[in-house]
Amino acid sequence: MYQQIANNKRKTVLLMVLFFVLIVAIGYALAIYYNDQGILVIALIVSLASNGVSYWWGDKAILGLSGARPLDHNRDLRERQVYHLVENLCITAGTPMPKVFIINDPAPNAFATGRDPKHASIALTTGLIEKLNKAELEGVIAHELSHVRNYDILLATVVITLLGLVVMVSDWTLRSRWYGRGHSNQNSRGGNGLAIVRLVLIILSPILARLIYFAISRKREYLADASGALITRYPEGLASALQKISSDNNKLRVASSATAGLYIVNPFKKTNEVISELFSTHPPIAKRVAALNNMNI
């Protein structure tokens, strides 16, 4: 576990540096292309600010985009029971009590976010609370607490925030290419060469970011499944929960392509298993369930 925590911290720093370089590289290409050093300055400011925002406020942005509200002890008995489940599992796992949020959506799902165990949040949908029994719900909560304990939440939160920024910047620069075509008559030979470099950066940056995100999400789910099962000492509960969540026909309305990798099960239903395994942010449910069923606890 400690090795995984150290690895996640190193990966977080590496990814923040990588995204910084990508944004600055795009800004540098644009600055030369338009002969405007102000663009590079803006790119530097944006890249530094985005790293700061992703670390300090990324979790708040994700919770806001997901429509999550703080759990209310006095709202109803079920939510009070959920709070006590989280509290008991935190004692068992030896982790600080995270903030608990509820997403009003009939699709069963859950995720964890934050920068460290002392500043963590877990969000559960109303569909998850209503459709799972106690053992299954404990399995899901333990899975999310494992993400917290392993510092997966920091890595995922940073990646999601920066991924959104890179896609946004790439989209803007792609459109600016067509709006700025009238300025490309000067230095046509150098301009064409720079335009090619610029387009390569625009195309590759979101693809690279997405591939990194896929790799991180897939590996962390297997580890969180195993760690969560060790907390509850009942892997069958989580295995049953994964099957129920994946077979539910409700679509999670608040999920987006940027936040999909955070959830315990991919919120987007896939009809083609081959395509799903190649491009999904999550490992196949069948493989996760088989791994849990083969655990000897």
Q: What is the pLDDT of residues 177-231, one digit of tens each?
A: 544 544 444 455 445 545 555 566 566 655 665 655 665 666 788 889 999 999 9
Lowest mean pLDDT among 3-17, 59-73, 110-124: 3-17
Give the model's pLDDT for residue 227: 93
Give the model's pLDDT for residue 275: 44
Which structural domain range is residue 179 located in? 2-61+156-212
The dihedral through the CA atoms of 144, 224, 228, 294 has a sign that is: positive
Give the model's pLDDT for residue 197: 54
What value does the mean pLDDT of the chain take? 81
- Answer with the one of 144, 177, 212 that is the final residue of a domain: 212
> Do residue 247 and residue 147 come from a single domain?
yes
Give the model's pLDDT for residue 4: 67
CA atoms within 13 A of residue 204's CA, in its CB half-sphere: 12
Q: Does the pLDDT of residue 47 top 90, yes or no?
A: no
- Burial label for 186, CB within 10 Å (0-12, 13-18, 19+), is exposed
Catalytic residues: 144
**pTM of the entire predicted model:** 0.80
> Do residue 57 and residue 69 come from a single domain?
no
Query: Which has the higher per-residue pLDDT, 140 or 270?
Result: 140
Q: Does the pLDDT of residue 277 top 70, yes or no?
A: no
Per-residue pLDDT band at 282 (split at 50, 70, 90): confident
> Do residue 123 and residue 264 come from a single domain?
yes
- In what helix (H) or strand (E) does residue 110 lie, and over which residues does it extend? strand 110-114
> Do residue 141 and residue 174 come from a single domain?
no
Per-residue pLDDT band at 272 (split at 50, 70, 90): very low
CA atoms within 13 A of residue 32's CA, in its CB half-sphere: 15
What is the arithmetic mean of pLDDT over 15-21?
A: 80
> Do residue 282 and residue 221 come from a single domain?
yes
The residue type of 259 is T
Could you give the 3-state DSSP secondary structure of residue 121? strand
Q: What percent of the chain has pLDDT over 90?
A: 41
101 contacts 121 by C-beta, under 8 angstroms: yes
53 contacts 161 by C-beta, under 8 angstroms: yes
**The two three-digit tokens of residue 152, written as one number:** 């997966």
The residue type of 246 is S
What is the arithmetic mean of pLDDT over 28-35?
A: 79
CA atoms within 13 A of residue 286's CA, in its CB half-sphere: 3
Query: Which has the higher per-residue pLDDT, 271 or 238?
Result: 238
> Do residue 137 and residue 242 come from a single domain?
yes
> Do residue 95 and residue 237 come from a single domain?
yes
> Do residue 15 and residue 144 come from a single domain?
no
Give the model's pLDDT for residue 99: 96
The DSSP result for 212-269, as a single string, is HHHHHHHHHHHHHHHHHHHHHT-HHHHHHHHHHHHH-----TT--TTTGGGSSS-SS-
**The two three-digit tokens of residue 271, written as one number:** 């009809």
What's the number of domains the chain is made of?
A: 2
Q: Does the pLDDT of residue 240 top 80, yes or no?
A: yes
> Do residue 143 and residue 223 come from a single domain?
yes
